[in-house]
Amino acid sequence: MIITKIEIQKKDKNRVSIFADGEFICGLSLETIMKNYIKENQEISEKMLEYFKNESEISVAMAKAGNYLSKVQKTEKEVRDYLLKKGFELNICQKVLEKLKEYKYVDDSVYAKNFVKFKSKLCGGKKIAFEMRQKGICEKIVNENIENIQDELSTINKLLEKYLKNKQFDEKMKQKSYRFLISKGFKNDDILQSLKKYF
């Protein structure tokens, strides 16, 4: 087929519409057009067009992922889910993730380490492990990082002290405190040990 027209799209100046024999055939990123020297009156095969479409999709998906990652660190699953929601095919998402991992923009091991460091000041290992699994972090990485949590009892005491401030120390409050700490994902034995200190 012969490319008869290349036109910058009105809604997105970074994308162009490709026409062959006067009919619209696809949209490509401007980067793909410039990188591959695609011009009007150029002959192009179906195979080449598919290659350019694939390359263009990866380029657009990379830009979207880059923007998504610019604010806060994300897991592989979170990035994949985001791109799928944006309408990209799974194979495009996988190729983008491979590049992002290669460039160290996405690393579940680093994410898990930072996540545990921050969360262990607020809740227990059980809740942290659950949240990491929800974010798609594999069991091996979850277990490795949960094992590194130290002195949960000290964290419980700090949270309990804050929770009990200006409250009455009675049996009802003891039960409320227990439920509060259980919801935070701490171990039962550690909670009971800490409650003995206050009640």
User: Hey, where are the domains in the chain?
Assistant: 3-102, 108-146, 152-198
Token reading at 86: 């944006």
Beta bridge partners of 8: 16
pLDDT tens-place string over residues 96-155: 999 999 999 999 999 999 999 999 999 999 999 999 999 999 999 999 999 888 888 999
Inter-residue contact 54 to 77 (CB < 8 Å):
no
Which CATH code is given to the segment(s) 3-102?
1.10.10.10
Token reading at 59: 């380029």
Res 100: pLDDT? 95
**Eight-state DSSP code of residue 14:** T
Q: What is the pTM of this model?
A: 0.77
- Does pLDDT of 26 surpass 80? no
pLDDT tens-place string over residues 30-61: 888 888 788 888 888 888 888 888 888 898 89
Res 31: pLDDT? 81
Query: What is the pLDDT confidence band of residue 180, given thresholds at 50, 70 and 90?
Result: very high
